[in-house]
Amino acid sequence: MSHKAFVFDAYGTLFDVHAAVRQHAGEAGPDGQALSEIWRAKQLEYSWIRAMTGTYRDFWQLTEEALDYAFQKVPSVDRSLRQRLLDAYWKLDCYPEVPGVLKALKQKGARLAILSNGSPAMLEAAARSSGLDLLLDDIFSVDPLRTFKTKFEVYDLVSANWKLYPEAVSFQSSNRWDIAGASHFGFHTVWINRTGQPDEYADMPASLILPSLDGLVTAM
């Protein structure tokens, strides 16, 4: 492998952000997927606004606020599900290929970490419930910086703590805007385009595009 350090975004890349609503699909009803999509979109939007305005709130609070907004937008979903959906978010399913890919990278001597907007408690809970904590060398949260991606200092958490030049790090994310920020910082970037979205940010391209994490080991 040309890279020995592999860093992964968490939500949408390792962990399925729609798993919480899917666990309660029967109770959420036909509009559950719409609720989940709005929940995720607002969670991200709130992080960008907080980063731009310098008015930090941790990612768990933004997750709660985004769900409350989603319930307002989709009133057909019973609001009594709120606490159960939030509880489920602490134990999101990881995508099926994730454990095997991380294990294969680890066996090849790679150093592995998460770099995420998530709060430390959220990330530790998700990694522990999926068993990924046994494979990761580090979990980097934005929380000590009190800001969010795509701020340069977020990506520099990896370079500074691991004492690596950015180009020595392969960064994987399912979020194209995250890939743009990481590419601009100098990371080797792999966009995990799980849903077949069109490319954008042509001046900040991904180094590689994959439909899932499958293929990452051989591509490197």
Catalogue the active-site residues.
9
Cα distances (Å, whole numbers) of residue 76 to 20, 25, 35, 135, 154: 17, 13, 9, 41, 38
Residue 191 CB partners (closer than 8 Å, separation 6+): 173, 174, 176, 179, 206, 208, 209, 210
Helix (H) or strand (E) holding 49: helix 32-53
Cα separation, 106 vs 206, in Å, equals: 23
Q: Which two tokens stand for residue 172?
A: 């994987």
Q: Are strands 188-192 and 169-173 parallel, antiparallel or unpaired?
A: parallel
**Cβ burial, residue 144 (10 Å; 0-12/13-18/19+):** exposed
How far apart CA 141 and CA 157 sit, in angstroms, is 9
Contact 92, 183 (CB under 8 A): no
| Helix (DSSP H) and strand (DSSP E) numbers for the chain | 10, 6
